[in-house]
Amino acid sequence: MEPGEIHALLGENGAGKSTLMNVLYGLYQPDEGEILVDGRALKLRGPSDAIAAGIGMVHQHFMLVPVFTVAENIMLGAEQVRGGIAGFLDRRRARREVAEVSERYNLRVDPDAIVEDLPVGIQQRVEIVKALTRDVDLLILDEPTAVLTPQETEELLTVMRSLKAAGKSIVFITHKLGEVKAIADRITVIRRGKTVGTASPEASRDELAALMVGRSVRLTVDKQPATPGKPILQVAGLVVDDDRQCRVVDGVDLTVRAGEVLGIAGVQGNGQTELIEAIMGLRPTLAGSVTLDGEQIHGWSTKKVLRAGVGYVPEDRSVDGLVKEFSVAENLVLDIYDRPPFGKGLALRPDAIARSARERIAQFDVRTSSAEAPVGTLSGGNQQKVIVARELSRPLKLFIAAQPTRGVDVGSIEFIHSRVIRERDVGTAVMVVSSELDEVIGLADRIAVMYRGRIIGIVGPDTPREEIGLLMAGITPDRAGTTPTGDTPAVAPEIPGNEDTE
Amino acid sequence: MTNSHPVSGSPDKEPATEPALAEAAGADRATTMTAPRRPEEPRPSLGRLFLDNLWAANTVTVTVLSLLLAMLIGAILIIVSDPEVLATYGYLTARPADAVTSSWAVVSEAYANLFKGAVFDPEASGFTAALSPISETLTYTAPLVFTGLSVALAFRGGLFNIGAQGQATIGVILAAVAGFALPLPPVVHLLVALLAGAVGGAVWGFVPGILKARAGAHEVINTIMLNYVAVYFLSWIIVQSGVQSPGRADAISKPVDPSAQLPRLLGDNLRVHAGILLAVLATWFVAWLLNRSTLGFELRAVGANPDAARTAGISITKTYVLVMVIAGVLAGLGGSQMVLGTTATALTPLVVAQIGFDGILVALLGRVKPWGVLLAALLFGALQAGGNRMQSYSGISLELVTVLQALIVIFIAAPALVKAIFQLRAARAARLQTSLAKGW
């Protein structure tokens, strides 16, 4: 690492990027080899040694105390004390330090804000400020953009540039090629715990992706034009509140036809999650209707909705998608365990479950040591494949995938995308929600953009990215420059067969 | 959970460290998944595996060492509580042999009596005397199996059932009333009384279950509160006319009819009764329910990750209520044995003793697994039976047994401590800890 350099560490999930950085930060002990800082070999016994050596780290999952203020979080671990033995916390000094660092690197944070009230992007900034107050020279960012919206990502990249200008070195861990190319000075690709290559940012995306997975992968989704059939899912005037009783879905109308992929684009937190949960019967609907193949399904239990032929890949796989302590085989029947051939009356049929698990594992290329391994021991991409395998293993009318490839390595993304398209081609109506615009554009036959609880536009996949980006920001083309009040009608449909119910 | 042991049968294989896992995943990537298992290093012999695992911090080792540690502390307590032995420590420097021999004498005698009372007395002559310790142990074990299973089952469903005591209390009341109030023929009478006990427990389990599922009320608080209600209901109902034994002024109910009593297994002089058979049956049933039934699948899924269970269409409300009802049935059956068995035949304020609370310890000691619970209950039953003899022969208070039980569970709950004391290789200790810490 050179001073003032942004060094990107690129690799698939489970390639060993985070482990390597945890060694650097002193969280893990190396079995062999050594770490050199300024030419001196360093023995790190813990994060405090690393901080003393000028290494700071921002973890993928933030290490903040949610109910503390920004200033309190920042002084945590290095509390400033005044009043001698009485040991009062010197909050004023902490606040001043925060202000000073924010000023110097142009990282605006309010020292008195409570951390849990802040958006994720700002929380991350707090983490960065926290590292900077410790006077580090080398900052490790572990997949910092995984949780950020595109705008926040852009802001983060700006922050990284200004840090670089201030002479700090940054190790940037990611598996998103676009960001790497946008910011890195040097790129090291890691695969299965080994450095497989160093590249300059001029290298093409395809080259980098090939280095990462060890073979060339297609980044664009290969598909034929859709042949939409009859409407399968019809949502009309749907209104849903979130857990805090805020109106987050405010009169959504949409139709998904058999054999087409409807992509829902939008910055996270514009009601996509709640819309899907309402369709799945996980969240009460306040008004409007949901119809599946001519049957009213709102108010149904989740089990009934699933039984009616809906497959669902939830947004957060570790919370909603999988029981980590359960084996791969058990997770593969998590929502069909009581159906023949897996359950008969009150009894489970372990042999049938195991047999089907072996088939799914082979079919969906799930890399696991055995069908009996707890699913929590699998890498993110393979965990996601388990969910996809489960949901696509029964006849479906409608397949809903929320963030199907979040935190998933390139190889698995490719695989999951091809499965989604294959499902479309057999005549299933598919709905894909993703905050990755590339994914939506690649998969969808029509793209609905959601903004503040409404669909503010439905466009074709050939629409320029900029236009979709503007829609995501709530700016419709006919009213460019102004923020819609919310009741702006959708832009003219560009795809035939887009008669939204009223 | 499931019998998830790999083919090689070595428990050491599963809890690999992070890098090892990543490596394993990487290695698997290379081979195709169609191959059933990749060729492995030659399998070590069974004896070798046994030795390797003996000193690893696995479940059995930790349990045995916890027992040892508890007995060690118990020995200190025995020495300290005996004034004569303590006196020899006053001149320890002058004649250390006195202190050592007298300490050894008192401790070894106490533990010998514990053993003789629980397992086998070599000096006993005759069939009855030889089997008496085992009979006593099994008599104490039976109800503990039920309450232990009750707590363990709820635990697997993500609920901490502190209310086994209350459920057992309501169970014993209904079983006793059915036992003396209903004129029924022998076998039917017993079945009806057991059923009454089960229903009583079920009702007492249903209440916190439905409160948790519908209102989100925490089951720990509600079950504790219902324990009080049950205990005072028992004290009240004993002295009501029709329940209280005629002609008695103290709190004791009419005795249960012989037709409603569990048959003795080894003749009239030994107390062991059919309850222990029911206990084994119940253990088998709970093991089947947890691992081989759809209900058990739902229960474990809800216990491990309620969000994922809900997303997969499992009704959390239904599962919580069912778990608590079944837990209540088990505890109620355990309670019933306190009057239908040989411990007592009439209700008294202390008729259920501590079986509900001991059930919590039994469940934890048994690692919330059904067969583990059975073994743990057996250990606790043996300690109780042996404790009785220790008290009458060595004059050591029965409370020492309670202290031993508590210490064993403390050491079990802190495997890291046992591991540190004995310098065990790290194996499954971390897992143990999480399995016990979870219910909260």
What CA–CA distance (Å, rounded) separates B186 from A18? 70
Name every residue in B having a CB less than 8 A away from some CB of A.
1-2, 4, 6, 16, 18-19, 21-26, 28-29, 33-34, 292-298, 300-301, 304-305, 307-315
Answer yes or no: is pLDDT of B120 > 70.
yes
Q: What are phi and psi of A45, to 5 degrees?
A: -100, -10
CB proximity list for A96: less than 8 A, separation 6 or greater: none
CB proximity list for A425: less than 8 A, separation 6 or greater: A223, A224, A259
* Cβ A423 vs Cβ A433: under 8 Å: no
> Has this prediction a pTM greater than 0.90?
no
Contact between A303 and B314 using a beta-carbon 8 Å cutoff: yes
CA distance B60 to chain A (A): 21
Question: Which chain B residues are Cβ-neighbours of A346 within 8 angstroms?
Answer: 293-295
pLDDT given at position A91 = 75
Which amino acid, one-letter code, is at B241?
A: S
* Cβ A411 vs Cβ A13: under 8 Å: no
For the CA atoms of B310, B311, B312, B315, what is the dihedral angle to 10 degrees? Answer: 20
Helix, strand or coil, per DSSP, at residue B314: coil
Q: For domain A6-213, give the fold.
A: Rossmann fold (3.40.50)
Nearest residue in chain B measured CA to CA from A338: B294
Answer yes or no: is pLDDT of B2 > 70.
no
What CA–CA distance (Å, rounded) separates B274 from B267? 12
Q: Where are the alpha helices (DSSP H) in B273-347?
A: 275-292, 294-304, 306-311, 316-340
**pLDDT tens string B140-185:** 999 999 999 999 999 999 999 999 999 999 999 999 999 999 999 9
What CA–CA distance (Å, rounded) separates A327 from A316? 19
Decide which of A467 and B100 is more confident.
B100
Number of domains observed in the structure of chain B: 1
Predicted confidence band of residue B55 (pLDDT cuts 50, 70, 90) = low
Residue B115 falls within a domain, yes or no? no
Residue B122 falls within a domain, yes or no? no
CB proximity list for B93: less than 8 A, separation 6 or greater: none
Answer yes or no: is pLDDT of B313 > 80.
yes
DSSP class of residue A31 equals S
Of B16, B18, B310, the CB nearest to A19: B18
Question: Which chain A residues are Cβ-neighbours of B300 within 8 angstroms?
Answer: 323, 326
**pLDDT tens string B155-166:** 999 999 999 999
Most confident option among B7-11, B14-18, B45-49, B408-412 = B408-412
pLDDT given at position B277 = 96
Residue B121 falls within a domain, yes or no? no
Decide which of B111 and A493 is more confident.
B111
pLDDT given at position B322 = 95
The stretch B392-421 carries a mean pLDDT of 83
Contact between B304 and A323 using a beta-carbon 8 Å cutoff: yes
Residue B28 falls within a domain, yes or no? no
Q: Could you list the mean pLDDT of each consecutive 10-residue stretch along chain A, which spans 502 residues?
A: 75 65 74 70 75 80 82 75 63 80 79 81 82 82 74 82 84 77 83 74 73 60 84 94 82 93 84 92 92 91 93 90 93 90 88 93 89 88 92 93 84 89 93 84 91 89 79 67 41 39 34
Per-residue burial over B2-37, b = 16 or more CB atoms within 10 Å of its CB, e = otherwise: bebeeeeeebeebbeeeeebbebbbebbeeeeeeee
**pLDDT tens string B74-87:** 999 988 888 888 88
Would you list the domain boundaries of chain A?
6-213, 221-309+395-502, 320-394
The closest of B275, B112, B106, B302 to B193, measured between CA atoms, is B275
Q: Where are the alpha helices (DSSP H) in A198-311?
A: 205-213, 272-279, 302-307
C-alpha angle A233/A239/A243, rounded to 5°? 115
DSSP class of residue B12 equals G
Domain encompassing residue B207: 153-369
Predicted-complex ipTM score:
0.76
In CATH terms, A221-309+395-502 corresponds, of 1.10.490.10, 3.40.50.720, 3.40.50.300, 3.50.50.60, to: 3.40.50.300
Question: Which chain B residues are Cβ-neighbours of A307 within 8 angstroms?
Answer: 313
pLDDT given at position A85 = 61
Beta bridge partners of A139: A56, A170
Looking up tokens 């003396």 gives B180
Residue B296 falls within a domain, yes or no? yes
Tell how far CA A428 is from the center of its chain: 25
Answer yes or no: is pLDDT of B190 > 90.
yes
* Cβ B226 vs Cβ B207: under 8 Å: yes
pLDDT given at position A354 = 93
- Lowest-pLDDT range, A40-54, B33-47, B218-232? B33-47
pLDDT given at position A345 = 82
pLDDT given at position A477 = 65
The closest of B43, B22, B51, B17 to B426, measured between CA atoms, is B17
Of A192, A361, A377, the CB nearest to B33: A361
pLDDT above 70 as % of chain B? 83
Segment holding B105, helix H or strand E: helix B96-118
pLDDT given at position A245 = 76
